Amino acid sequence: MKNKISPRISLNQHDKDTKKFLTQEKKVSKYFYNHTATMLMAAIETGILRANICRFISKWRKQDKIHLLKYGKCKISEHNGVGFYTSNENFISKLKSEI
Protein backbone atom coordinates (compact mmCIF):
# COMPACT_ATOMS: atom_id res chain seq x y z
CA MET A 1 0.00 0.00 0.00
CA LYS A 2 1.41 3.36 -1.05
CA ASN A 3 1.61 6.22 1.39
CA LYS A 4 -0.28 9.09 -0.23
CA ILE A 5 0.85 12.57 0.62
CA SER A 6 -1.35 15.37 -0.61
CA PRO A 7 0.23 18.73 -1.41
CA ARG A 8 -0.91 21.83 0.45
CA ILE A 9 -1.57 23.60 -2.84
CA SER A 10 -3.30 21.79 -5.65
CA LEU A 11 -1.31 22.04 -8.85
CA ASN A 12 -4.27 20.96 -10.94
CA GLN A 13 -6.45 24.01 -10.44
CA HIS A 14 -7.43 25.36 -13.83
CA ASP A 15 -10.01 27.88 -12.71
CA LYS A 16 -8.90 31.18 -11.28
CA ASP A 17 -10.46 31.97 -7.97
CA THR A 18 -10.88 35.74 -8.23
CA LYS A 19 -11.62 36.04 -4.52
CA LYS A 20 -8.27 34.38 -3.76
CA PHE A 21 -6.43 36.78 -6.08
CA LEU A 22 -8.20 39.81 -4.60
CA THR A 23 -7.19 38.68 -1.13
CA GLN A 24 -3.60 38.24 -2.32
CA GLU A 25 -3.69 41.65 -3.99
CA LYS A 26 -4.89 43.31 -0.77
CA LYS A 27 -2.20 41.54 1.26
CA VAL A 28 0.55 42.64 -1.14
CA SER A 29 -0.85 46.18 -1.30
CA LYS A 30 -0.75 46.44 2.48
CA TYR A 31 2.80 45.06 2.52
CA PHE A 32 4.06 47.67 0.04
CA TYR A 33 2.32 50.44 1.98
CA ASN A 34 4.23 49.49 5.12
CA HIS A 35 7.57 48.55 3.49
CA THR A 36 9.98 49.52 0.77
CA ALA A 37 10.92 46.20 -0.78
CA THR A 38 11.76 44.19 -3.86
CA MET A 39 9.30 41.76 -5.40
CA LEU A 40 11.29 38.82 -4.04
CA MET A 41 11.32 40.27 -0.53
CA ALA A 42 7.55 40.79 -0.72
CA ALA A 43 7.03 37.25 -2.03
CA ILE A 44 8.93 35.70 0.84
CA GLU A 45 7.34 37.91 3.52
CA THR A 46 3.75 37.47 2.27
CA GLY A 47 3.99 33.89 1.01
CA ILE A 48 2.53 34.93 -2.35
CA LEU A 49 4.14 33.84 -5.61
CA ARG A 50 6.48 36.41 -7.12
CA ALA A 51 4.73 36.04 -10.48
CA ASN A 52 1.51 37.27 -8.90
CA ILE A 53 3.31 40.16 -7.22
CA CYS A 54 4.88 41.10 -10.54
CA ARG A 55 1.43 41.15 -12.13
CA PHE A 56 0.02 43.31 -9.31
CA ILE A 57 2.90 45.80 -9.55
CA SER A 58 2.52 46.06 -13.32
CA LYS A 59 -1.19 46.82 -12.88
CA TRP A 60 -0.57 49.33 -10.06
CA ARG A 61 2.20 51.16 -11.94
CA LYS A 62 -0.21 51.77 -14.83
CA GLN A 63 -2.70 53.14 -12.28
CA ASP A 64 0.06 55.18 -10.53
CA LYS A 65 -0.66 53.42 -7.22
CA ILE A 66 2.89 52.17 -6.60
CA HIS A 67 6.25 53.72 -7.30
CA LEU A 68 9.71 52.47 -8.07
CA LEU A 69 11.54 54.20 -5.25
CA LYS A 70 15.14 53.24 -5.97
CA TYR A 71 17.48 50.61 -7.29
CA GLY A 72 19.67 48.79 -4.83
CA LYS A 73 20.93 45.47 -3.54
CA CYS A 74 18.28 42.90 -2.62
CA LYS A 75 18.72 41.61 0.94
CA ILE A 76 17.69 38.11 -0.11
CA SER A 77 19.16 37.46 -3.57
CA GLU A 78 22.03 39.93 -3.07
CA HIS A 79 21.66 41.11 -6.68
CA ASN A 80 22.50 44.73 -7.41
CA GLY A 81 20.25 47.02 -9.44
CA VAL A 82 17.01 45.54 -8.15
CA GLY A 83 13.94 47.77 -7.95
CA PHE A 84 12.52 48.72 -4.56
CA TYR A 85 8.81 49.58 -4.60
CA THR A 86 6.44 51.32 -2.23
CA SER A 87 2.91 52.66 -2.32
CA ASN A 88 3.41 54.93 0.70
CA GLU A 89 3.83 58.58 -0.29
CA ASN A 90 5.65 59.28 3.00
CA PHE A 91 8.54 57.02 1.96
CA ILE A 92 8.77 58.81 -1.38
CA SER A 93 8.81 62.32 0.10
CA LYS A 94 11.33 61.24 2.76
CA LEU A 95 13.72 59.93 0.07
CA LYS A 96 13.33 63.16 -1.98
CA SER A 97 14.11 65.29 1.06
CA GLU A 98 17.33 63.30 1.68
CA ILE A 99 18.58 63.97 -1.86
**Structural contact between residues 95 and 69, judged by C-beta atoms closer than 8 angstroms:** yes
DSSP 66: S
Nearest to 31, CA basis, from 95, 97, 72, 91: 91
Specify the pLDDT at position 24: 92
Please compute the mean of the pLDDT values over residues 69-88 and round it to a whole number. 94
Specify the pLDDT at position 98: 63
Given the candidates 1.10.10.10, 3.30.1370.100, 3.10.100.10, 3.40.50.2300, the CATH classification of the domain at 19-98 is 1.10.10.10
> What are the domain boundaries of the chain?
19-98
Query: Residue 10 in 3-state DSSP?
Result: coil
Tens digits of residue pLDDT in 22-76: 789 999 999 999 999 999 999 999 999 999 999 999 999 999 999 999 999 999 9
Task: Report which of residues 39 and 10 the model is more confident about.
Answer: 39
Rounded to whole angstroms, how far apart are CA atoms 42 and 66?
14
Per-residue pLDDT band for 18 (boundaries 50, 70, 90) equals low
> What's the whole-model pTM score?
0.73
**Structural contact between residues 83 and 58, judged by C-beta atoms closer than 8 angstroms:** no
Rounded to whole angstroms, how far apart are CA atoms 54 and 11?
20
